[in-house]
Amino acid sequence: MRLAAQPADWVLGFADETWWSRLAQPALHSWTAGPPLRLVEQVCPKGDRAPKALACYGLLRTDAHEVLLRFVDGRPVSHVTTAFLARLCQQLVAERKRVLVLLWDNASWHISREVRTWVRAHHQQVKRHGGVRLWTWRLPIKSPWLNPIEPHWVHGKRAMVEPAGLLTTTEIITRVCAYFGCEHAEHLTQLVA
């Protein structure tokens, strides 16, 4: 991590995925002069076809102290992960960065054969044509406290909570993007076979 933080054209990033629920409420405390505020899990009305939760990829950049987000139509799987990595590399090429050192957990879609094959092919392409080199490092199993993006997820979920009603997917996306100060980009799509 020290090595990655030194050169100006390197980026050290911590990646993870989370779900933004329309129904479940985060654990939080409140101070009130009257009766205590109670958050209860919401219930979807009959006929509501919107998803109960939205998946989201995120990258915490230590050089810019920002979180980059990309929502997913579906759930995190290997081909969505490779699409996320490709978009990150494109963005970093535009910023004239050379290396992305990526730390993430051992989720099955991070260590899958498809992702490892994509990373190898990406390295070969970077050697031939230039671009952003991608170094992936896995955090120890069952150690979410080692990933600094985790507290960002917790605080984001607390900030976007709605105690009085059910949020729509558009409201969730708007609140999440406003909290993290990022633009709402095109969603990644899970291919269904």
Handedness of CA 40, 45, 51, 54 (dihedral sign): negative
Predicted confidence at residue 166, as pLDDT, reads 82
- DSSP class of 141: T
Answer with the residue of higher pLDDT: 162 or 99: 99
Predicted confidence at residue 98, as pLDDT, reads 92
Q: What is the largest CA-CA distance in the chain?
A: 66
d(CA 178, CA 182): 7
Give the predicted TM-score (pTM) of the model.
0.84
pLDDT tens, 113-171? 999 999 999 999 999 999 999 999 998 888 888 899 999 999 998 888 777 778 888 99
pLDDT tens, 61-71? 998 889 999 99
Q: In this structure, what token pair is assigned to residue 66?
A: 């920002």
What is the set of domains in the chain, with CATH numbers? Answer: 2-25+50-189 (3.30.420.10)
Nearest C-alpha neighbor of 95 from the set 124, 137, 66: 66
- Tell whether the model's pLDDT for residue 28 goes beyond 60: no
Which residues of 62-162 form beta strands (DSSP E)? Answer: 66-73, 99-104, 133-138
Query: Residues 35-52: what's their mean pLDDT?
Result: 73
Q: b/e for 135-161, b at 16 or more Cβ within 10 A?
A: ebeebeeeeeeebebbebbeebbeebe
